[in-house]
């Protein structure tokens, strides 16, 4: 499981340790340079002391091996030095250590020299009386003393690393408190508690998350509200045909006359057909809400129309209605099943409101480089003030004949929106409804 805290620690701790390491390295280099300068000054002071003590003589009156402290606090860090006296016109005349072989430096002042695998730090002083005083120090011993002193100074700083790690852990835990509070607030809410979270009470970094959650809460509220409305409307719409079916069954049971029984059975069949259509439309609406049109591709819209027209021919022939098609071969981007559902509801709506022995026209043309589908009937038409409301679910225009459910055109509108098609309602040549869908290029 991914963890923000773990990710922050994985990123921050190495960066912090790297920064500490770089700072420590720079501090170490600077400290070594300062220690060397301090010890070089010590060599110079020893040389000056030897010059003044032995003025007028070749060798100093007395000298014991001197030690220079690297930090001035602990004798264990002292570094032993080697002192020599040379003559300008001669060789080495005196040395504090006879077994040490350190040649004369080429120039006065500080210098470095390596001989027989041993490195020396040298200071040469030319006296006015012809003597050359040279003081040397083993570079390896000096480095050991410096490292020991630095290590002792750095130990308190190194001991702070665990404290820094604990501090990072605490800071990340403290910084993620708003997320934990938000999680606790979500856990504490009930199924119907979909109110928005206050955005002003959370840090700026968490506000986008809270804002997105509030949008989700609003969508859930709308979905639940729609679900409740759908359930209530579906129950109301189903109750009417089911009550009619029950009444017609009673008529069949109580009617002794064969002709009346036959008529009641015919009404019963029509009632079953109406209930079946209502259930099918409810299923279509549920599929439309679920966004079934997810596999879009280029397809021939005329082929889809022909299939739907063929399926609805028995319904049209039963009322003597002619389904007249005028189709161009055009391609659209869409889902075949969803477009078939759209066309089925659109043409079925036209068949239900068209008078018997009339014509329903299905026209597919290309206009301004865009495919345009029109379904035109010869029914009563739709009043201009009602042309927007008919797309609402379960809405039926007052005074409209027939037993429609008010679902078909809402399904048509929802599928058209997902296909980015513009849908409009106008009047046909005979005053009936003309519903047009204009698909994108």
**pLDDT per position as a tens digit, 401-441:** 555 567 788 888 988 998 999 999 999 998 899 999 999 98
Report how far residue 244's alpha carbon sits from residue 242's, in angstroms, rounded to the nearest whole number. 5
Each residue of 314-337: b (16+ CB within 10 Å) or e?
Answer: eebeeeebebeeebeebebebbbe
Least confident interval from 6-15, 202-211, 233-242: 233-242
Rounded mean pLDDT of 368-380? 94
Give, for 35, the enclosing helix (H) or strand (E): helix 4-53
Q: What is the domain extent for residue 269? A: 190-292
**Same-domain check for residues 302 and 371:** yes
Residue 61 domain-assigned (yes or no):
no
**Same-domain check for residues 308 and 216:** no
**Same-domain check for residues 346 and 205:** no
**Same-domain check for residues 314 and 430:** yes
**Same-domain check for residues 247 and 327:** no
Query: pTM above the 0.85 mark?
Result: no
Token readout for 166 is 């604990």
Please report, for the domain that includes residue 44, its CATH number. Answer: 3.30.450
Report how far residue 72's alpha carbon sits from residue 148's, in angstroms, rounded to the nearest whole number. 13
Tell me how far apart the 2 most distant CA atoms of the chain are, in Å: 159
Q: Which of 95-104, 237-246, 396-405 shows the highest mean pLDDT? A: 95-104
**Same-domain check for residues 126 and 251:** no
**pLDDT per position as a tens digit, 66-117:** 544 444 445 445 667 888 888 887 688 888 877 777 888 888 999 888 877 7
Task: Provide the domain count of the chain.
Answer: 3
Q: Domain ends where: 247, 266, 292?
A: 292
- At 293 the pLDDT is 42
Residue 173 domain-assigned (yes or no):
no
Residue 177 domain-assigned (yes or no):
no
**Same-domain check for residues 25 and 136:** yes
Each residue of 35-71: b (16+ CB within 10 Å) or e?
Answer: bbeebbebbbebbebbbeebeeeeebeebeebebbbb
Rounded mean pLDDT of 184-200? 77
Residue 126 domain-assigned (yes or no):
yes
3-state secondary structure of 80: strand
Q: Domain ends where: 257, 292, 327?
A: 292
Cross-strand pairs, 131: 87
Location of structure tokens 């009937």: 377
- At 238 the pLDDT is 67
Q: Domain ends where: 255, 273, 292?
A: 292
Residue 180 domain-assigned (yes or no):
no
Residue 68 domain-assigned (yes or no):
no
Distances in Å between the alpha carbon of 7 and those of 3, 181, 214, 220? 6, 20, 27, 32
**Same-domain check for residues 280 and 351:** no
What is the chain's mean pLDDT, rounded?
A: 80
Is the model's pLDDT at 327 over the cut of 90?
Answer: yes
Report how far residue 269's alpha carbon sits from residue 273's, in angstroms, rounded to the nearest whole number. 6
* Position 290 confidence tier, pLDDT thresholds 50, 70, 90: low
- At 213 the pLDDT is 82
Give, for 300, the enclosing helix (H) or strand (E): strand 297-300
Q: H helices of 319-406, where?
A: 336-353
- At 437 the pLDDT is 95
User: Which residues of 92-130 form beta strands (DSSP E)?
Assistant: 92-95, 109-115, 118-126
Residue 428 domain-assigned (yes or no):
yes
Q: CA nearest 375: which of 343, 404, 353?
A: 343
**43 close to 137: Cβ distance less than 8 angstroms:** yes
Please report, for the domain that includes residue 287, its CATH number. Answer: 1.10.287
Location of structure tokens 């979500």: 186
Q: What is the separation, in whole angstroms, between the first and last Cα of the chain?
A: 45
- At 261 the pLDDT is 78
**pLDDT per position as a tens digit, 291-317:** 554 578 899 999 999 999 998 998 899
Please report, for the domain that includes residue 322, its CATH number. Answer: 3.30.565.10
Location of structure tokens 């549920």: 286
- At 287 the pLDDT is 65
**Same-domain check for residues 227 and 203:** yes
Give how far the C-alpha of residue 338 lies from the chain's centroid of Cα atoms, to the nearest Å: 32
**Same-domain check for residues 237 and 301:** no
**Same-domain check for residues 148 and 18:** yes
Q: H helices of 319-386, where?
A: 336-353
- At 141 the pLDDT is 84
Strands 422-427, 433-438: pairing is antiparallel
Token readout for 23 is 């700072």
Residue 168 domain-assigned (yes or no):
no
**Same-domain check for residues 216 and 284:** yes
- Residue 398, class by beta-carbon neighbours within 10 Å (0-12 exposed, 13-18 middle, 19+ buried)? exposed
């Amino acid at each position: 499981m991914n963890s923000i805290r773990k990710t922050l620690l994985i990123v921050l701790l190495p960066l912090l340790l790297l920064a500490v390491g770089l700072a420590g390295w720079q501090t170490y280099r600077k400290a070594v340079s300062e220690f060397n300068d301090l010890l070089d000054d010590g060599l110079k002071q020893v040389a000056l002391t030897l010059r003044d003590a032995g003025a007028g003589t070749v060798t100093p009156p007395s000298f014991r091996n001197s030690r220079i402290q690297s930090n001035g606090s602990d004798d264990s860090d002292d570094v032993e030095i080697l002192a020599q006296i040379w003559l300008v016109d001669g060789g080495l005349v005196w040395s504090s250590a006879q077994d040490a072989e350190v040649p004369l430096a080429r120039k006065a002042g500080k210098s470095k020299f390596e001989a027989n695998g041993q490195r020396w730090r040298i200071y040469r002083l030319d006296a006015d009386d012809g003597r050359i005083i040279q003081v040397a120090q083993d570079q390896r011993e000096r480095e050991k003393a410096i490292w020991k002193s630095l290590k002792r100074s750095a130990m308190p700083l190194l001991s702070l690393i665990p404290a820094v790690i604990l501090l990072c852990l605490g800071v990340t835990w403290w910084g993620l408190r708003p997320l934990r509070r938000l999680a606790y607030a979500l856990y504490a809410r009930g199924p119907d508690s979909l109110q928005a979270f206050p955005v002003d009470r959370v840090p700026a970094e968490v506000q986008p998350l809270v804002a997105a959650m509030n949008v989700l809460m609003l969508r859930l509220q709308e979905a639940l509200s729609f679900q409740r409305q759908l359930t209530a409307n579906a129950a109301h719409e189903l109750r009417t045909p089911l009550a009619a079916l029950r009444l017609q069954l009673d008529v069949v049971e109580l009617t002794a006359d064969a002709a009346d029984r036959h008529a009641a059975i015919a009404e019963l069949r029509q009632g079953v057909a109406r209930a079946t259509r209502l259930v099918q439309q409810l299923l279509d609406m549920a599929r439309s809400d679920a966004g079934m049109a997810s596999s879009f591709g280029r397809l021939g819209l005329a082929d889809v129309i022909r299939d739907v027209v063929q399926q609805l021919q028995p319904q049209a022939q039963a009322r003597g209605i002619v389904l007249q098609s005028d189709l161009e071969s055009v391609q659209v981007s869409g889902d075949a099943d969803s477009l078939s559902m759209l066309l089925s509801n659109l043409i079925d709506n036209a068949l239900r409101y068209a008078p018997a022995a009339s014509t329903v026209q299905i026209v597919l043309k290309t206009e301004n480089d865009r495919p345009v589908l029109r379904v035109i009937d010869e029914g009563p038409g739709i009043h201009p003030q009602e042309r927007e409301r008919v797309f609402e679910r379960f809405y039926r225009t007052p005074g409209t004949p027939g037993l429609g459910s008010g679902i078909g055109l809402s399904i048509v509108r929802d599928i058209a929106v997902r296909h980015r098609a513009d849908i409009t309602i106008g009047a046909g040549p005979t005053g009936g409804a003309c519903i047009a869908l204009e698909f994108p290029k």
